[in-house]
Amino acid sequence: MSRVHADAPPFFVIHGDRDTLVPVDEARRFTETLRASLRVPVAYAEIPGAQHAFEIFPSLRATFVVHGVERFLAWLYSAYLVERGDADERAAAG
């Protein structure tokens, strides 16, 4: 958390609520710190019943998390394209 800075990229924090290696409160605090410090999107998903590194083994839960990450990245990329398109239009007009 001490390395969080205003120029950091968007984050999607995913944490299991049954994680015995890293307490879920750490992920919550990390997300709060990111949201307070960044001007970019910060998403948080707390996965019920999930342990640390739950996504290593194939499961329906892991599949849904992968789809969620894919949607988050697609959303970020589409926002980038819209922003870039506006900049391209301003450059062409100006």
Q: What is the pLDDT along the chain (94 residues), one digit of tens a residue?
A: 888 999 999 999 999 999 999 999 999 999 999 999 999 999 999 999 999 999 999 999 999 999 999 999 999 999 999 988 876 766 666 6
In a domain, 55, yes or no: yes
In a domain, 1, yes or no: no
In a domain, 4, yes or no: no
Which domain covers residue 21, as residue numbers? 11-93
In a domain, 5, yes or no: no
17 three-class SS: coil
In a domain, 50, yes or no: yes
In a domain, 56, yes or no: yes
Tell me the backbone φ, ψ of residue 4, rounded to 5 degrees.
Answer: -70, 130
**Cα 64–Cα 68–Cα 73 angle in degrees, nearest 5:** 150
Contact present, 68 and 33 (Cβ < 8 Å): no
In a domain, 18, yes or no: yes
